[in-house]
Amino acid sequence: NRQRKFSNDFKFGVSTSAYQVEGAWNVDGKGESIWDRYFHDNPKVITDGRNGDEACDSYYYYKRDVEMLRELGVDYYRFSISWPRVLPSGFPNEQNKLGFQYYDNLIDELLKYNITPMVTLYHFDLPQKLQDLGGWVNPLSVDWFEDYAKVVFDKYTSKVKYWITVNQPNSICTSAYGEAAMAPVLNKGVSEYECTKNVLLAHAKAYRLYEKEYKNKYKGSVGISMSLNWADPADNSTENVEATEVFRGFNIDLFLNPIWSKTGDFPSTVKKIVAKKSKQQGFSESRLPVLSPKEIKLLRGSADFLGINHYTTVLVKTSDEDVQSPSFVNDVGVEIVLGDKWKQSQSAWLRSAPYGLYKLSIYLNQNYDYPTIFITEHGWSTKPGLRDRSRVENMRQYLNALLLAIEDGTNVKGYTVWSLMDNVEWQAGTSERFGLYEVDFESKDKKRTARMSALVYKRIIDTRIVEEDW
């Protein structure tokens, strides 16, 4: 019964994203983002009405944020840069000095205390001006993103060694353009796949740019963060086992295959399904675009690490609905249920199933040639309150599952809690709290207070051990 321990070079961090914490949505020359627009036009979609106009006001209180990071003793802080804050129109010809000043200050404050910045270039907040030009469905978005990346690399390459190009391309394309669950809320059926291709190419171009212009001199790493929850069949029936394979194909392999598989293309099962359904729906060609040999070459191996955002496991069943309307969801064509014995968080979609992280890691080891992994997000939501026993339990169980995965050969370098503090959980507003620190959104300075889980995380980072009792 020997105790498992994280090695001394294993890194621990916490994560946030710009829209969810910064506030100051129109201050000092920041441009409008697609989330600003969506929430201002549709305030009713937010559970408690609280949007990101103020959020945690980290734009003003970043020093307090860094103080919290020091209290926790984390090795790194994963945060994102708001594209419209630094390039209000999306394009580099107009650069917002004051916007950059904020990130200069934050990065310098982190470095002063030896906390490594891990910077995400894109966490869902596209400049509205680029959305007006079609957003990620416009093939030119590949160049827009590369140009933006170049400006940011130029500016911070000597200070930032960990980069994440895009956060959750799979959510961006399937939720924002498909299920209409995220801004800009467009539902077109074809655009999910155009988005998929463009976002992946945008990532790859930014990666190649870094590789060519900065890597030798600055020795940084550039990765991408994927939303990778695990999926198991609801029961052992052949049809549900097959439905699960299809589900994994669309939700995992479609996005990973182009970067880390041997063939370096979209997965053939997904290609077959979309081609067949497109034909039935009267399209002259598959709604899933083709990747040219040149694009495949650009994409293959285009990341130094795989960032995994992992929260839960879903159970998959076949669905008898035969929907003719073209969309990602209908292409996948399954029904999702949650394990009825699994503990429920404050978010409807989130239940605790730590074994799923272990199984995911085995799946990735078997199917992909990824270089190394960072868990770039894992977290749990609660109601307000400092005694967040369920978060502590969830974190412990998942960290134990992670230790097991590492023992069995998964190459994981770091683990990141979502989130440092309560923030704007998209449409859920502040009704679902993910923070190690509680935020009092009513108070003038958005007061932050450590929860029990913050103290437990600190002790885990100190001791490298995940105790059972506390």
Kindly tell me which of 167 and 244 has the beta carbon lying closer to ligand GCO: 167
Rounded-to-integer distance, Cα 278 and Cα 290, Å: 14
Token digits for 163? Answer: 């980069």
Query: Which one of 311, 358, 370, 398 is the catalytic residue?
Result: 311
Ranked by CB distance to ligand GCO, the top (closest) residue is 168
Q: What number of CA atoms fall less than 13 Å from residue 21's CA on the CB side?
A: 29
Give the residue with the Cβ less far from ligand GCO, 17 or 251: 17
What is the closest distance, in whole angstroms, from the C-beta atom of residue 154 to ligand GCO in the complex? Answer: 26
Nearer to ligand GCO, 169 or 233 (CB): 169
**Is 78 labeled as catalytic in the residue annotation?**
yes
Residue 422 interacting with ligand GCO (CB under 6 A): no
CA atoms of 234 and 231, how far apart (whole Å): 9
Half-sphere exposure of 235 (CA within 13 A, CB side): 3
Per CB under 6 A, does 416 bind ligand GCO? no
Binding to ligand GCO by residue 431, rule CB under 6 A? no
Should residue 22 be labelled a site residue for ligand GCO when binding is judged by CB under 6 A? Answer: no
Nearer to ligand GCO, 305 or 418 (CB): 418
- Tokens representing 313? 């496991």
Reference 222, options 173, 259, 178, 269; nearest CA is 259
Residue 244 binds ligand GCO (CB under 6 A): no
Q: Of the candidates 25, 61, 250, 434, which one interacts with ligand GCO according to CB under 6 A?
A: 434
377 has catalytic annotation: yes
CB of 251 to ligand GCO, least distance (A): 14
CB of 423 to ligand GCO, least distance (A): 7
**398: contact with ligand GCO by CB under 6 A:** no
Task: Say whether residue 438 binds ligand GCO (CB under 6 A).
Answer: no
Chain centroid to CA 96: 26
Token representation of residue 164: 């994440």
Q: What share of the chain is helix, strand, coil (3-state, %, to 5)?
A: 45, 15, 40
**Within 10 Å of residue 212's Cβ, how many Cβ atoms?**
9
Q: 311 catalytic, yes or no?
A: yes
Interaction of residue 346 with ligand GCO, rule CB under 6 A? no
- ω into residue 184 within 30 of 0, thus cis? yes
Residue placing its CB nearer to ligand GCO in the complex, 251 or 278: 251
168 is catalytic: yes
| Helix runs in 263-388, H state only | 268-280, 293-299, 328-332, 355-367
Catalytic (active site) residue 156? no
Whose Cβ is closer to ligand GCO: residue 167's or residue 240's?
167
User: Does 171 participate in catalysis according to the annotation?
Assistant: yes
Residue from 239, 233, 213, 211 nearest 223 by CA: 211
Distance in angstroms (rounded) separating the CA atoms of residues 17 and 119:
10
Interacting residues toward ligand GCO by CB under 6 A:
17, 20, 167-168, 171, 309, 377, 418, 425, 434
Catalytic residue positions, numbered: 78, 168, 171, 309, 311, 377
